[in-house]
């Protein structure tokens, strides 16, 4: 297979004399053209060549530009690692002929809500509320949601600097109980921006925390923005949505949006590459854990060949070197290291010899030892010696009958079952790549929030659907014996209707595949925990690993080792650069020059 070229290489190879002539003409005329207008609030006359910076890039309002030439020139001034959008392009087929190697027609649909006929929804929620962005903490939370959704990041100070803008409006959804920001939307007021004679407005960057347990956040954000612009006297609210985003389109159509023939044009850059470049065969069938690595590889110009999409296998080629991977497991991890991680009893012995704190453990076949361990600790963990994704794991068992039942369930996963003392606290996953910490996150068990109407079964099924949609089917909440045991401990059943706002933990295990949520703590994790995770990786001799601890808190040094995962899900840890560090490990020469130098200097310092 021929090596796949980067977008820059394709553009360079495909440039015609006509395109080069146009670029020279454009450069010669640069000083003759009026600059792009970055509009200040309060100006009332109709403006021309309007482009507004939104942090992730600029929105260029094509109807304000005098001609297509000036619009193409404006797009050419896109900032590094930004994503500009030329919106309301009147004749994209003509514009694209001016710079065919640099621009492309965005494969998105435009939808419009007529605000003269829009009626506010009656639904209200007590679990969260919508408000304006008001602090730098809000800005950081919004940026984290963008990262979790694979969107272009924004400097938090940008949000804060524009918090009082009359042209841009930022709304956030705040969880009533925790105070966490769980959703965001941005609106642009065209009247205040450039005195739009059509009195329009537009919606951008609707994003909801994929791990939020509350329903309807996206709908409430859209409604709040629509009502905001309706009160300002706007005639309509427009938005651009990817043509294949069926879930979002269904929401917009439910709210009364209708598709209109309006187009957008973007530049060919690394961020947009998957929108205009030929797709890798099998890419769509990859799960999120493989896809995040493939996306980063393609961004670096690394050739990708999907060898088995269903299993998550792909081959990466760069500089004449090929590495076969299954998600984050690559040929750089030895078979011995995989074997150590595969057997939890072996893993425990290896890291214990390296000085890590481990829980007391016995084999489930030794009934006397199990009884003694239960009497000594009062609470136990049952898990199969081999297995992944939390299958067969039961936590916090304090009765012999529950232990026996959990052992029977674990045997369906693996014949050999282990019993451990239960350490009360939080489940901490640390991602170690090249024996350095890259990400740390607390994983919390799935829980539902009562609304005073639905029973627990319905709440679980509703949240499970949202989790599946947010993770491409990778995370759902099973209803099984473990779920029933957990509910019984709270005097609940599946038919219980919890009061509004009451939180019900539906499983004690925090594994993401069984509906758990993950919360980044990389910036606050205690150095002793980092050191222990790196020592575990070195003891196993594994270059990429997810190390699991139970901790009192991520900011405290106390822990017990639980297990090591040889194929950790890197997609779970955004905004931390897990995929970037993984490709750095495999192909260090694909790093930007500055990063390569920093890496060499770090190795020299060690």
Binned at pLDDT 50, 70 and 90, residue 389 comes out as low
Q: What is the pLDDT of residue 418?
A: 86
**Mean model confidence pLDDT for the chain:** 85
Beta strands in 243-378 (DSSP E): 258-260, 263-267, 303-308, 313-318, 321-326, 329-330, 361-363
pLDDT digits (tens, 9 = 90+) for 565-576: 999 999 888 778
List the single range of 73-87, 123-137, 199-213, 376-390 with lowest mean pLDDT.
Answer: 376-390
| CA–CA distances in Å: residue 543 to residues 89, 245, 459, 535 | 49, 37, 40, 12
pLDDT digits (tens, 9 = 90+) for 289-331: 999 999 889 888 889 999 999 999 999 999 889 999 999 999 9
Q: What is the pLDDT of residue 279?
A: 77
Binned at pLDDT 50, 70 and 90, residue 25 comes out as very low
Binned at pLDDT 50, 70 and 90, residue 258 comes out as very high
Q: What is the pLDDT of residue 12?
A: 39
Measure the CA–CA gap between 271 and 589, rounded to whole angstroms.
Answer: 20
Binned at pLDDT 50, 70 and 90, residue 470 comes out as low
State the virtual CA torsion across 318, 321, 325, 329 in degrees, nearest 10.
Answer: -110
List the single range of 65-79, 96-110, 130-144, 412-426 with lowest mean pLDDT.
Answer: 412-426
Q: Which two tokens stand for residue 87?
A: 């919106």
Select from 427, 390, 462 the least CA-distant residue to 213.
462
- Note the pTM of the prediction, 2 decimals: 0.67
pLDDT value at 31 more than 50: no
Alpha helices in 151-244 (DSSP H): 156-161, 190-194, 217-231
Q: What is the pLDDT of residue 136?
A: 87
Q: What is the pLDDT of residue 409?
A: 83
Q: What is the pLDDT of residue 13?
A: 40
Q: What is the pLDDT of residue 27?
A: 35
pLDDT digits (tens, 9 = 90+) for 337-365: 999 999 888 999 999 999 999 988 888 88
Q: What is the pLDDT of residue 235?
A: 97
590 vs 10, residue with greater confidence? 590
Measure the CA–CA gap between 542 and 320, rounded to whole angstroms.
Answer: 24
Phi, psi of 29 (to 5 degrees): -90, 0
The H or E element containing residue 467 is helix 456-470
Q: What is the pLDDT of residue 472?
A: 65
pLDDT digits (tens, 9 = 90+) for 201-251: 999 999 998 878 787 899 999 999 999 999 999 999 999 999 989 889 999
pLDDT value at 34 more than 50: no
138 vs 385, residue with greater confidence? 138
Most confident of 253-257, 297-301, 378-382, 504-508: 253-257
DSSP 521-554: -TTT--HHHHHHHHHHHHHHT-SEEEEEEEES-T
pLDDT digits (tens, 9 = 90+) for 113-150: 999 999 988 777 778 999 999 988 999 899 889 987 87
pLDDT value at 458 more than 80: yes
In three-state secondary structure terms, 303 is strand
pLDDT value at 10 more than 60: no
466 vs 63, residue with greater confidence? 63
Average pLDDT over residues 484-488: 87
Average pLDDT over residues 68-89: 94
pLDDT value at 199 more than 90: yes
Select from 228, 199, 359 the least CA-distant residue to 220.
228
- Asked whether 174 and 137 are in contact (CB, 8 A), the reply is no
Q: What is the pLDDT of residue 271?
A: 81
Measure the CA–CA gap between 153 and 82, rounded to whole angstroms.
Answer: 9
543 vs 281, residue with greater confidence? 543
- Asked whether 464 and 515 are in contact (CB, 8 A), the reply is yes
Average pLDDT over residues 157-175: 90
Q: What is the pLDDT of residue 481?
A: 83
């Amino acid at each position: 297979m021929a090596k796949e070229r980067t977008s820059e290489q394709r553009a360079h190879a495909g440039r015609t004399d006509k395109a080069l002539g146009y670029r020279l003409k454009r450069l010669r005329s640069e000083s003759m053209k009026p600059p792009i207008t970055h509009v200040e609030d309060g100006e009332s006359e109709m403006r021309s060549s309007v482009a507004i910076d939104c942090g992730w890039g600029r929105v260029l309002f094509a109807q304000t530009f005098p001609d297509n030439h000036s619009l193409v020139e404006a797009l050419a001034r896109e900032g590094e690692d930004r994503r500009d959008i030329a919106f309301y392009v009147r004749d994209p087929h003509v514009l694209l002929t001016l710079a065919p190697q640099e621009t492309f027609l965005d494969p998105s649909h435009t939808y419009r809500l007529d605000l003269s006929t829009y009626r506010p929804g009656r639904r209200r929620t007590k679990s969260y509320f919508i408000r304006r962005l008001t602090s730098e903490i809000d800005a950081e939370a919004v940026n984290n949601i963008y990262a979790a959704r694979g969107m272009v990041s924004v400097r938090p100070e940008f949000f804060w600097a524009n918090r009082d803008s009359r042209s841009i409006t930022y709304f956030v959804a705040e969880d009533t109980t925790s105070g966490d920001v769980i959703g965001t939307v941005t609106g642009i007021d065209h009247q205040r921006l450039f005195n739009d004679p059509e009195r329009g407005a537009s919606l951008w960057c609707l994003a909801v925390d994929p791990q939020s347990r509350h329903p309807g956040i996206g709908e409430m954000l859209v409604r709040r923005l629509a009502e905001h612009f309706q009160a300002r006297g706007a005639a309509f609210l427009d938005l651009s949505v990817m043509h294949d985003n069926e879930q979002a389109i269904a929401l917009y159509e439910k709210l009364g949006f209708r598709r209109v023939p309006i187009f957008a044009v973007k530049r060919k850059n690394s961020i947009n590459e998957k929108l205009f470049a030929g797709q890798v065969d099998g890419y769509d069938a990859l799960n999120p854990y493989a896809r995040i690595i493939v996306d980063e590889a393609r961004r670096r110009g690394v050739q990708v060949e999907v060898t088995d999409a269903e299993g998550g296998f792909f081959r990466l080629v760069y500089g004449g070197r090929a590495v076969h991977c299954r998600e984050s497991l690559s040929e750089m991890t030895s078979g011995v290291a995989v074997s150590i991680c595969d057997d939890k009893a072996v893993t425990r012995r290896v890291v214990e010899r390296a000085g890590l704190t481990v829980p007391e453990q016995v084999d489930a076949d030794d009934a006397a030892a199990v009884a003694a361990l239960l009497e000594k600790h009062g609470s136990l963990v049952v898990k199969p010696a081999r297995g992944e994704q939390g299958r067969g794991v039961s936590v916090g068992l304090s009765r012999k009958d529950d232990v026996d039942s959990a052992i029977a369930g674990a045997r369906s996963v693996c014949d050999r079952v282990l019993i451990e003392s239960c350490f009360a606290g939080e489940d901490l996953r640390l991602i170690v790549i090249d024996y350095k910490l890259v990400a740390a996150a607390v994983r919390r068990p799935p829980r539902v929030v009562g609304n005073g109407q639905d029973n627990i079964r319905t709440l679980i099924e509703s949240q499970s659907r949202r989790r599946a949609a947010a993770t491409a089917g990778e995370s759902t909440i099973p209803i099984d014996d473990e779920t029933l045991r957990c509910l019984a401990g709270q005097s609940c059943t599946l038919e219980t209707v919890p009061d509004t706002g009451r939180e019900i933990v539906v499983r004690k295990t925090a594994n993401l595949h069984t509906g758990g949520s993950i919360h980044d703590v990389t910036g606050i994790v205690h150095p002793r925990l980092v050191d222990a995770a790196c020592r575990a990786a070195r003891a196993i001799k594994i270059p990429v690993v997810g190390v699991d601890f139970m901790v009192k808190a991520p900011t405290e040094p106390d822990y017990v080792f639980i297990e090591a995962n040889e194929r950790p899900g890197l997609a779970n840890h955004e905004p931390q650069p897990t995929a970037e560090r993984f490709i750095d490990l495999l192909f260090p020469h694909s790093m930007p020059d500055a990063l390569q130098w920093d890496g060499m200097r770090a190795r020299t310092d060690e």
